[in-house]
Structure 1
Amino acid sequence: MRLRTRALALLAALAAVVGTAAPAHAAGPTGDIVYATRGGGKVLALTFDDGPSPDWTPKVLDLLRAQKVRATFCLLGSQVQANPGLVRRIVADGHAVCNHTWNHDYVADWTPEAIRADLAATNAAIRAAAGDPALPIRYFRAPFGGFGNASLVAAELGMSSLAWTMDPQDWDGSGAEVLATRLRAQAYPTAVALSHDGGGWRQPTLDAYATMIPEWRAGGWGFDLPAVTGGPYPPACTAPTWRTHDTHVAGDRVTRAGRVYQANWWTVLEDPRTAWWVWSDLGPC
């Protein structure tokens, strides 16, 4: 009897420890679809689909680095496999990563098993290209916005389904001025902008954002990542962790205490959290 009592007490103690140790976000993502930034206020989330493209992704990354903006890249598994170095660069710059299926197929009418196989293969390719088997992939975007069963399957794989609320239609052949006009007209606080760094000629897209990002900034706008479902979750950091004796040059991005920082010039010892004259704080991961 005494042994049974002790055993029950031990199990109760273990249950209490497990209960208190479980994080508040343990439930995981839901099948709900995201249409807004994770924070409020006068902010936008920029997202780029169908890459990585050897022609356009580097130019988009250069622009975002020059403007000190972080974005979300919705990657195709086939393009990831063909351009692994660009995935590493996206991750090193601290951008969020999004699964956009393997071949840009319409998956809404697929079986859950077929969707799961496609999304799992795409996630595996992204993580292999990045060289990080634990790389956080917080989002899934269904091609053509056709989620169907895919939103629930994505949630099972740890991803929130990401839609959009701003669409400059940069796929229709319009010039940069037209795209900028559309972006200007569609912007509102917490909006998610859809554009492309792959799948076609993207010079107008690049030029439109080269105009709009400074214009938005001058108008008091900021930039955020999209929301996640079922959260809050810990920061999904992708940029490398800052280390005391590493040397960094202008443009390098690092993660420090759950935030991303960009170096303004050469630095080796200054802590990003306190050396504001060296590091620009780009916000939480």
Structure 2
Amino acid sequence: MIDKQGFLDFEKPVRSSKIFSGQSTLHTPTYGESSFRVTSPDSLKGTHDSAIGNFGIPQYGGSMAGTVVYPKDNRKGCKSFDDFGISFKSKPGSLPTFVLVDCGDCFFALKVWNVQNAGASAVLVADNIEEPLITMDTPEEDIKAAKYIQNITIPSALLDKSFGEKLKKVISNGDMVNVNLDWRESVPHPDDRVEYELWTNSNDECGIKCDMLMDFVKDFKGAAQLLERGGYTQFTPHYITWYCPMAFTISKQCKSQCINHGRYCAPDPEQDFSSGYDGKDVVIENLR
């Protein structure tokens, strides 16, 4: 959940998989899926649902095999594992290490950052509540988090509580748990083409996340155009607008905030109808 300050509730994952102008919105839970398959032991063998974290670098179009470990200390991953003398670096010739941590007490992104710094290749977060899987999001306006989120490079996935408990029990019994994370079906790709969407607004004023979004758009613009022209992708931008009620289309407010006779409107950027840019300027910029 997101509290009134815009921070994620420590104990409950945010129920969102879309970002509007850098701010999460509440809606029916959907999530970016990855196929999580246990290859051993036989007692857990099979495919299970998981939800991709909204940070880090999932191996879209590929897969990753690894061995799951559950740390004896710092099981929520909220502190540096260096403080406990724990390292997850894989030995030469061995499978990558996937670290299982518990939900709660700190941001998901911080858990992943701490595990990454300890040398792991991926993070699995066991939910602490029986609920439908949802996307693990990033903290909205946390300055400390902004410093490390952009440096997270390993993938992460959320597992439901019941399966997480089974994993922990098997590991505690001394069994080796080998798994495979598969992202080959996590992105829609009809006709061998990747489809992706961006929800935004030219009047982005939501702090750190909007700054990151704008930087991403600038950096990715050239590559996006080449991919689109080559027929490899289909990009759909979404801009937030509202319409003016018919009874007020000739009012000063609607004329200054809307275009096309009140059909497409945006809030005044300065919240001042008498000076600066108007909402209609924002709509025109969105169209441009």
**Is TM more than 0.5 here?**
no
More helix by share: 1
Q: Which has the higher contact order (CA 8 A, sep 6+)?
A: 1
More strand by share: 2
